[in-house]
Structure 1
Amino acid sequence: MSAPVTIGGIAPHRIGAMVRRYWYLLMSSWPRLLELIYWPALQIITWGFLQTYISQTSGFFARAGGSLIGAVILWDILFRGQLGFSISFLEEMWARNLGNLMMSPLKPIEFLISLMIMSLIRLAIGVIPMTLLAMFFFDFNFYSIGLPLIAFFCNLIFTSWSIGIFVSGLVLRNGLGAESIVWTLMFGVMPLACIYYPVTVLPHWLQYVAWALPPTYVFEGMRSLLIDHVFRADLMMMALAINAVLLMASFAIFLALLRSAKRHGSLLQGSE
């Protein structure tokens, strides 16, 4: 029997095994699947009708096209990407299985990569129907954005992973008593990411904080593209540079919190 293939010390077969585990878990429960589709669909319908009403009474929104609907979809990519990552992690905590995984040959980096892949799968299940509803109800083709959509998506998913890794490390170290941060931290970022309004709306001193967040560049770039028909590659490059720093920092923090959890015995307990 040939030895399993590894790439840079990372074993794809172990990552694939974890992804299959989460996939089977997801497919075994229709309420889980329904929830992935329900909330994005509800958001796009609610906000879509709101934009339809505003565009009928406001010249700006008539000119802005689908900027509000586009912002809703991009926000859902950011939020659902982080939530899809964190939910898969929490399922291990709820099952008291994390200690078993960390004592297996599975490496922390392989575990995190499997959570990233699963977040993409969960995201696709929720967001693709959302974009189809936007086309059917509001004649907004999200995919007509073209190649800039790749830059928007990659930057948002990188940010969602960074936050997901960070909050997972906090829950790992502090137990399920810190579980609420999984649901709340992204909403704390929401006002500063300038999802539905430009950065200039914020107080001058707060704009510096907003520009330190990668999603701010994405939503500013989205408005520039849909309203002014100009793709701001400079904004995307800045977002990518900040995301690279955030991802490396989140990996380092997760590993430090994992070591701390092992020292303090919280890895096996996982309780509040």
Structure 2
Amino acid sequence: MILSPLNYTGNKSRLLTQLLPLFPASINRFVDVCCGGGSVGINSSAQQTLCIDSNVAVIELLRTLQHFSEHFILQKMDAIIEQFQLSDSFHKDYAFYHKYIEGNNGLKAYNKDSYKRLREFYNNHDFQSWKEKSLYLFVLIAYCFNNDIRFNSKGQFNMPVGKTDFNSSMRKKLSSFKAGIHSKNIKFYMADFSIVQEFKLTPKDFVYVDPPYLITDAVYNENGGWTPEQEKRLLAVLSKLDQQNIPFALSNVLRKKTQENSLLLEWISKNKFNVKFLDYHYRAASYNKKDRNSMEQEVLICNYEI
């Protein structure tokens, strides 16, 4: 499995071994809608993969990683790390920073001020190109909390500093991801999910959709987030694909504690789509099967036999 260096909220890296076997065996074009960090699309064996997301910064970063060589990216990131005097455990070894580490906070104390300066620079600097800006964002992601990606309502990156840095693990993910992009025919689209209707898809193609989940409180549902109206639009697009005999699979959550996605449940029942319940163990939270109804029920909804 190729792991994305972008730890996008809701990424499916830990579910890949469950998801991929449920997809059609032979695919001409694999369309990864709401692709996030590209964890699913990068692992497709289709002849061509189209990755779509409406997040401008994320798609620009993915295109930047695709455009530049691994050597160039590493060189630029190391220069930014040195520019802002951030920790560099890859070149200096983690033990070098031992005296700065307190409890389980890792490199947080060492990087706190430098990270803040980098974040302010990224949010306020007038960059010469979006590729240059994307590389600064990549460094921010490497040093922020949980390597996550979050922007406020003004479009400013607002994740706090994390405990790790651009270490060997993240460099390996970058190397693997770069190799995957190089060996596969992948295109990145910055667009609304409705763009799939413009691709002139056939039954030999396949559409996978991993949208924000309507009834969860994840980062993407802050500041208005995903709305019932967007959910209805997405389901309408998928219904049209079904009418054209184009296979699709939709990741989502049917229920969470006392909440349920009635829009989704009614749509599934009306169209008699197949539902595969996925193992909850990939999440950090514990999962008690006796209390299944009070937990999130993550599912894969398909319009083909699974």
Q: TM-score range by the shorter chain?
A: under 0.3
Larger strand share, 1 or 2? 2
Q: TM-score, normalised by structure 2?
A: 0.25
Structure number with the higher helix fraction is 1
TM-score relative to the length of structure 1: 0.28
